[in-house]
Amino acid sequence: MRKSFYILGLIIILASIILWGCGSKNVVASVNGEDITAQELDEQVALMKTNLEQQGFSFEGDQGKQLEQVLRKNLVDQMIDQKLLLQDAKKRGMMPSDKEVQAEIDKLKKQLGTEADFKKFLAANGVNEPKLNDLVREQLAMKNLQEKIAAEVPQPTGEQIKAYYEQNKTQFSQPEQRQVSHILIGVGDYSNGKKRSEVDAKVLALQVIQKIKAGEDFAKLAKEYSDDQGSKDNGGQYPPFSKGSGFVKEFEDAAFNLKQGEYTTEPVKTTFGYHIIRLDKIIPAQTKTLEESRAGIISSLKQDAVNKKTDEYMKDLRDKAKIVNNLEKTQPDQAKKSDSTKK
């Protein structure tokens, strides 16, 4: 992840920043004289570990300890950057007013619904109302800085837009696509609870094909017979797709061997069961023109420029600041101690 700052959603901020009630003055870092305490860091680490564990990460054993060390280092760096940003926002007079902060909190209350829901939200995130004010103020201050940086970035020139288009033409090319409708007669676990055998599935698929040959409406048959819950209510139709889009090989091969308007007169067997596939439309390969791509290119170039300027801005803040990171000082000693225990 890049070191540039960005504006987190309010819930993420509440889940990762709890900077009050610190009983310990054990300092892990300082930024221009402002301390970051061990308790502040420990609280963030605990919250982040809980989040990662819910995603399947483990902090057990030697690997878990190494992961926690990396986590602590990254979080200290983020906390230092946040201190720098807030200090600069104060220096530039870009801190939001009390009225702006209250307006943002009122929006949150409206989204949550009742006052009781608001109180539950605060309790669930371990935040009281005065602290919420502080967090919202910090969020808005960083947003003000971000918007100022973005406003200072010039629009890309015509030459830059053209060069980007020429250098990235594959981004603007779309291979041939097919749009199909299908009816799945599922087997076993894919038969919507019917636990249908392969023999029964094939027999039913052949019966449905006979109904199509007799002139019955494909979309109505899909709604009646298909076990594909994602497409049956849409008459069995899928959005357009190209080769290699993730469909099973048998399905994709059948779709790309049909002519427009044709359907498979023999059921197509896959791991899901038996499919009846109709080719609704062939969408030829195409490349967007420069004019068709212009808006997207401008957005991409502008974002790249904002990211670069933000990185430079953060580097400048760090270069000018007096930063003491005690965690960096202790890590080599910890590594030596860990090595010595293995001998």
Along the chain (343 residues), what's the average pLDDT of each consecutive run of 10 residues?
42 43 69 93 86 87 90 93 94 95 93 91 85 92 93 96 95 94 96 93 97 97 96 96 94 97 97 97 95 96 96 96 86 45 43
Residues in the chain: 343
- 76 in a domain, yes or no? yes
Residue-level pLDDT at 12: 43
| Cβ neighbours, 10 Å, residue 333 | 9
| Total structural domains within the chain | 2
Q: How far is residue 77 from each of residues 84, 279, 316, 327, measured CA to CA in Å?
A: 11, 55, 15, 10
Q: Are residues 319 and 258 in the same domain?
A: no
- 117 in a domain, yes or no? yes
Residue-level pLDDT at 25: 60
Q: Which of 284, 305, 324 is the last residue of a domain?
A: 284
Overall pTM surpassing 0.75 (yes/no): no
Q: Are residues 86 and 128 in the same domain?
A: yes
Q: Are residues 180 and 277 in the same domain?
A: yes
The 3-state DSSP class for residue 238 equals coil
- 1 in a domain, yes or no? no
Q: In this structure, what is the dihedral angle of CA atoms 194, 199, 203, 204, given to the nearest 10 degrees?
A: 10
Residue-level pLDDT at 82: 92
> How is the beta sheet containing 268-270 ordered, strand by strand?
177-186, 273-283, 268-270
Range of the structural domain that residue 275 is part of: 176-284
Q: Are residues 274 and 300 in the same domain?
A: no
Residue-level pLDDT at 304: 95
Q: Which amino acid is at 208?
A: V
Residue-level pLDDT at 125: 78
- 3 in a domain, yes or no? no
Residue-level pLDDT at 75: 93
- 4 in a domain, yes or no? no
Q: Are residues 300 and 266 in the same domain?
A: no
- 171 in a domain, yes or no? no
* CA dihedral sign, ordered 325, 318, 43, 340: negative
Looking at 168-295, which runs of residues are DSSP E strands? 173-174, 177-186, 268-270, 273-283, 286-287
Residue-level pLDDT at 51: 82
